[in-house]
Structure 1
Amino acid sequence: MNRNLLSAAVLGAIFSLASGSALAKLDAAEAARLGQDLTPTGGLKAGNASGTIPAWTGGLTQPPAGYSADTGYVDPFASEKPLYTVTAANMKQYADQLTVGHQALLAKFPSYKMDVYPSHRTAALPKEEYAKIAKESTQVDLAPGGNGMLNYQGTSVPFPIPKSGIEAIYNHLVRYRTSGYQTTPVEMVVQANGSFTPVRREAKQMMASAMGNPEPNRLFYYTDKVVSPESVAGIQTLVHEPIDQVTEPRLAWQYNPGQRRVLRAPQVSFDTPVETSAGLRTMDMVDIFNGSTIKYDWKLLGKKEMLVPYNTYKLASRDLKYKDIIQTSHLNQDLVRYEPHRVWVVEATLKPSERHIYAKRVFYIDEDSWGILAVDLYDGRGELWRLQEAHALQRYDVGSAFYVSDVSYDLQARRYITYGLMNEEKPARFGLKAELKDFNPAALRRSGR
């Protein structure tokens, strides 16, 4: 890994941030780089020396011909063919560009492959977001201890030039997903024999900064309802997510249809298993990573050129059925597109005083969208346990690189779980409007009835 890590000057002071110092916010000279040699979100504007990663020229901001919100996203790169395919037979040739998890999958499953296509830096945000980033990057700072933000007013990239691992993670946590969204994500636990049962949900999230009367110290409001199968239908979860989770832990409630009661749910965090995931997904694996950062020490290892899932329009096609996507041992890899991109590499090591099923996590974060694209997850013995992979595409209709789905492979149990696929569901809605009353426990109770 170290051979290709970029030793940029911005990394010089990262380790002084262990206790959360005032180095997080940018000075005027650093902020002036945004939109110049850096993109407005902090990525390197130039391509790489070999030409495999192009320069960023504004991203994909206009829908291709034929796009309709009702029929789904048109793939602007549908005519492209893979440049090459990484398999178990040739993976040593590309090992320096592969996550540890991808190498393990290639070695474990002979049918697993990675089709690599030309790289397209499609990530783009609305122009008003760029203005917020430029303004707030000189104001937002880490809270004492690093597990929160000071002076945060809702920008989607508070730390465009990260100087610590925790800053890069915060960029992922608050990345732009419009004011709010409503989705119908499907979760599928895939057994070793390839069998699966879709668990369907209705989910809604609103960013607090987009609401007219947010409570203090609020990042977002989220609600989730399981609608099928019948054995778990009716379970509901409500989350009020704080910005600083040290001074105020996450507030969560759950509605149990059997008891017909709404109860506080402090367990909706960290490594508590998601109730429908058969133990394959923890609460803080939702959205690849979410919630408090307090259990880990975060180290920014640098930036690296890697092969990562990107522009996965094919996987989002509404012409596909779930049986076309789900296969034994892994997804149908003919539908997953990989490209060379630069990613920030962040290593999270469990603090000696804390407990979690993952002793170490290594995150690979896209330099342009700040979405986490892959994670290597290690158990308490230091052995690789699981790989998370996120499938993102540029939603050119709303200016967000919101995930199409994500998958977590359990390398020890030979099972995997997917979340977020909506090929057979209603399309997602973005730019929602909502009020606080839509996200209170009473609303959860009314919905349960």
Structure 2
Amino acid sequence: MKDTEVMDSDQAENWTKPKERSSLSELNHSMKVPLKGSTFRKFLAFVGPGYLVAVGYMDPGNWATDIAGGAQFGYSLLAVILMSNLMAVLLQSLASKLGIVTGHDLAQASRNQYSKPVSIGLWILCELAIAACDLAEVIGSAIALKLLFGIPLLYGVLITALDVLLILLLQHKGFRAIETLVIVLVLTIGACFAVDLWLAKPDAGSIFNGFVPTADLITNHQKLYIAIAILGATVMPHNLYLHSSIVQTRQYENTYKGKRQAIRFSAWDSTIALTLALFINAAILIVSAATFHKAGMTEVAEISDAYHMLTPLVGTTLASILFAVALLASGQNSTLTGTLAGQIVMEGFLDIKLPPWLRRLITRLIAIIPAVIVTIIAGEKGTEELLILSQVILSLQLPFAVIPLVKFTGDKKIMGRFVNSAWVKILAWSVSAIIVVLNLFLIYQTFMG
């Protein structure tokens, strides 16, 4: 029997019986993949999901942590951004492999493998992570609307609730329409910061040294706090659920060869997209270090302050305008993908059968209601301070998504011939251990001083 005709018989029966609803059933396997043609043409069919995932790595929460890190510690936290990005590349490749091989997203896999109480607990934790993430995205978008158009913060938050209508509109045009919008917005963010980098004129030698880790990353509590916030903002837990689902929108062959090809192309897609996210995150921190830290303004930690101070420091209003435009594109991108992730998590863990528009509306409200309450109670000052805290919360949720992912992809009963190799298992468990240890250390330093 030819390789293309061989089914992955090593998979356990519990992944095919009983038959259950596909992840994002209305979009599952909706996009064709050419069976013939060049490798590049086939790869292009898989381009898209990686950018939806990468969006979460450049959301307003990242902006808050990168601005604070650059202002306080100069270029030295570039090493953390690089390490976080490398972790993200590994974990996202595992997430896409899980979805392609098993036909289940991470939420469905967790529901099938764990008891109901454990599964419900993981769902609640993931919803908290999505709410924390969306808090940052909604507030970031609202701040951008205020900076660009003078719209009050609360009204800006309410306007972002309409994002769900945009998703519904785009879905009727196919999943490629969503991916195209996301890619355009990502390129807009990249272009804005490329210009801001040129205007800020950072020191190349300092940038290079910043990618080398220093010992005070562990001994300096404030630096560690920002570092773990960067980690939480970069390796986002709900993005692992998202990626394991949206890779299944492609009509790859349900054979060993077809799945192997899909895994390879999906890994290329996410790695390229995450490299672009690395550039944008590094650019935000570098601009902050080259302007605020250099000028001795080490207390700048808020997006609004950064916007207002860029013009006098750089010498042109163009820098501030591009900064706000990129922030708005970032917030809109992130809320769009966050809503999709919320739907995937709710469907996967709870197996709720609701109309697509109602599922998206529910998941959107779960996230946006806390943002409205916080905005009303805390005001602009309080909401911006909560941006960094929201990223630390994300980091604290990471182990509850990362550990099941590493466990599932390392289990031959689940993955068959696609099970992680020995070196990948060692690397993946090492990354998981680093995440857990850093979080425990942060908790200890926070409460024990």
Answer yes or no: same fold by TM over 0.5: no
Shorter chain as denominator, the TM-score bin is under 0.3
Structure having the higher strand fraction is 1
Which TM-score applies when normalising by structure 1? 0.25
TM-score by length of 2: 0.25
Higher helix proportion: 2
